[in-house]
Amino acid sequence: MLHKVNIAGLAMDPASNTPIILLKTEEGDKTLPIWIGLLEATSIASALQDIQFDRPMTHDLFKNLTQVLNVHINRIDICDLKDNTFYAEIHFASDERSFTMDARPSDAIALALRFHAPIFVDERVMEKSRVGKETGEVLDDSEEGIKWAEYLEKLSPRAFSYSYRQHRMLLLTSWSGTIF
């Protein structure tokens, strides 16, 4: 089962200084954090804020190419989580055919924003990345899973706002809900 999600925002992980994209279910009761690269975060932020650059960034170039070829993106699915790595699929279509390509979630999200395509998360991903709703109990009892659950429990809402002055973009978010 797929759950439609929206981008709740971008944040910086103060411990690793790594950007995090926060995806929130349309029902609004669950939030999924995914750690991403700085370049992808910049691309996502520019799309969210409709910032146009003089020269096309990689994701803009890809969009331009697919439009010339009469291909569009129907949707993206964040479809798996293996060894703390998220996987995504981009669903393309043209007049002649449709096809799916493997992608990193950050690249898939950056493209989905440019194509105004919906973003979905597979139920299995939610379950694999889930922290107990009521008790904070870690369902992933690996050392890495416990470490991240403890870290996330200590974060305050203030930790999820970040001003990235170097690129003159403001990456803000406010969210409430359960991290699954």
Residues whose CB falls within 8 Å of the CB of residue 133, separated by 6 or more in sequence, listed in order: 178, 180
Give the lowest-confidence range in 29-38, 49-58, 138-147: 138-147
Residues whose CB falls within 8 Å of the CB of residue 158, separated by 6 or more in sequence, listed in order: none
Integer Cα distance of 145 and 139 in angstroms = 8
Q: Is the pLDDT of residue 103 over 50?
A: yes
The pLDDT score that the predictor gives to residue 16 is: 87
Integer Cα distance of 67 and 157 in angstroms = 39
Between 140 and 148, where is the model more confident? Answer: 148
Pairing of strands 169-171, 2-13: unpaired
**E-only strand ranges, the chain:** 2-13, 18-25, 30-35, 72-82, 85-93, 98-103, 119-122, 162-164, 169-171, 178-179
Give the lowest-confidence range in 39-43, 51-55, 123-127, 133-137: 133-137
> What number is the average pLDDT over the span 104-110?
98
pTM above 0.95, yes or no: no
**pLDDT tens-digit profile of 36-92?**
999 999 999 999 999 989 999 999 999 999 999 999 999 999 999 999 899 999 999
Q: Band of the pLDDT at 129, cuts 50, 70, 90?
A: confident
∠ CA(20), CA(142), CA(78), 5° rounding? 40
CATH topology of domain 2-179: Bifunctional nuclease domain (3.10.690)
Q: How many CB atoms lie within 10 A of CB 94?
A: 12
